[in-house]
């Protein structure tokens, strides 16, 4: 497939993360993968991402290559496709990144190695090698739950200075997220193109600090589309009606990746977007019914509010 060049100016707005669907036999369910992208584009998303909550670290090598191809197929000129290509070595990340570019994705989401604690010098070297290996934009992803040592603001600013804001974007998740968004903005003179990545939990605060977009997940796609539009239009009071209960929902869901997936996939199954709620093991979380009752109530109220505020 021929790659179409994408500028960072095109990589904005609401880009939800695919929740990787599986068949009963354990293979990737390509039909449900594409169904999620159809849902996203149908509710007004600007594109989609395959990220860490896509269980990308639990995929085989062949599956990661195939998913990159599915990303390009699903976007098909309708929006931005972003593929996660980070790995434990720069060599592996470069291989995944070059393949994703050749498959036709628009940008890469690159997480740092997670098994060793890297300092700034090693982190910058890893990202420098990956970014230099491709021509498409790279979103530098700091995953708060997997980073042994947080990537400093200075290191992120260095990458921007070396490669420019047409090649490097950021998805910072080191806590506390809102002030670090401001620090990265200020350290780069406002040039850093930053995405919120906490499922909309801190979007009310982070948006005013200077974001170009947000990366939630499939199950809350239309909720965040409306929330983002309200914030972009300066309708803060209406945005708070969605943003506050959304933060409460995320407080429930973001206890762990498996906790999140057990709830999010059940939402999608109940809505008929995917066929089952399978999470690839080893997953130790079993969703209890009392939690499900609470999150489902909050979720349904959010969907009703979204319809009301989108009129």
**pLDDT tens digits, residue range 198-253?**
899 999 999 999 999 999 999 999 999 999 999 999 999 999 999 999 999 999 99
| DSSP class per residue in 123-154 | HHHHHHHHHHT-SS-EEEEE-TTT-SSPPPHH
- In this prediction, residues 167-186 reach a mean pLDDT of 92
Inter-CA distances, 145 with 58, 64, 111, 223, 294, Å: 16, 21, 12, 25, 25
Q: What is the 3-state secondary structure (H, E, C) of 75-127?
A: HCCCCEEEEECCCCCHHHHHHHHHHHHHHCCCEEEEECCCCCCCCHHHHHHHH
Report residue 109: phi and psi, to 5°: -110, 115
Q: Lowest-confidence range among 83-87, 150-154, 230-234? A: 150-154
Residue 171 confidence (pLDDT) above 60: yes
Q: Distance between CA 129 and CA 197 in Å, rounded?
A: 24
Task: For the chain, list the domains and their CATH numbers.
Answer: 8-234 (3.20.20.70)
Query: Do residues 50 and 80 lie in contact, with contact meaning Cβ atoms separated by under 8 Å?
Result: no
For 250-265, the pLDDT digits (tens) are: 999 998 899 999 999 9
Give percent of the chain above pLDDT 90.
85
pLDDT exceeds 70 at position 195: yes
Evaluate if residue 4 carries a pLDDT over 70.
no
Of the chain, the percentage scoring pLDDT greater than 70 comes to 96
Residue carrying the six token digits 């293979």: 27
């Amino acid at each position: 497939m021929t790659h179409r060049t994408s500028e960072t100016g095109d990589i904005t707005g609401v880009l939800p993360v695919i929740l990787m669907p599986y068949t009963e036999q354990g293979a990737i369910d390509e039909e449900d993968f594409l169904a999620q992208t159809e849902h996203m584009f149908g509710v007004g998303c600007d594109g989609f991402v395959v990220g860490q909550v896509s269980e990308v670290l639990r995929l085989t090598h062949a599956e990661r290559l195939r998913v990159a191809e599915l990303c390009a197929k699903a976007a098909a000129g309708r929006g931005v496709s972003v593929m996660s290509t980070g790995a434990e070595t720069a060599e592996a990340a470069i291989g995944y990144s070059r393949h994703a570019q050749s498959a036709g994705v628009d940008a890469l989401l690159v997480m740092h190695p997670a098994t060793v604690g890297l300092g700034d010098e090693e982190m910058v070297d890893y990202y420098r090698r990956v970014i230099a290996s491709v021509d498409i934009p790279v979103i530098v992803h700091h995953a708060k739950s997997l980073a042994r040592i947080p990537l400093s603001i200075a290191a992120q600013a260095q990458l921007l200075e070396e490669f420019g804001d047409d090649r490097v974007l950021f998805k910072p998740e080191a806590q506390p997220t809102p002030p670090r968004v401001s620090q990265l903005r200020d350290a780069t003179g406002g040039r850093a193109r930053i995405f919120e990545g906490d499922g909309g939990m801190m979007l009310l605060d982070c948006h005013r600090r200077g974001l170009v977009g947000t990366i939630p997940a499939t199950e809350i796609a239309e909720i965040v589309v409306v929330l983002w539009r309200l914030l972009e239009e300066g309708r803060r009071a209406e945005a708070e009606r969605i943003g506050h209960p959304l933060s409460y929902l995320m407080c429930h869901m973001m206890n762990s990746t498996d906790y999140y997936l057990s709830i999010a996939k059940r939402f999608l199954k109940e809505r008929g977007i995917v066929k089952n709620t399978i999470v690839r093991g080893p997953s130790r979380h079993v969703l209890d019914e009392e939690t499900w009752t609470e999150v489902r109530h909050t979720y349904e109220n959010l969907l009703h509010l979204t319809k009301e505020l989108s009129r």
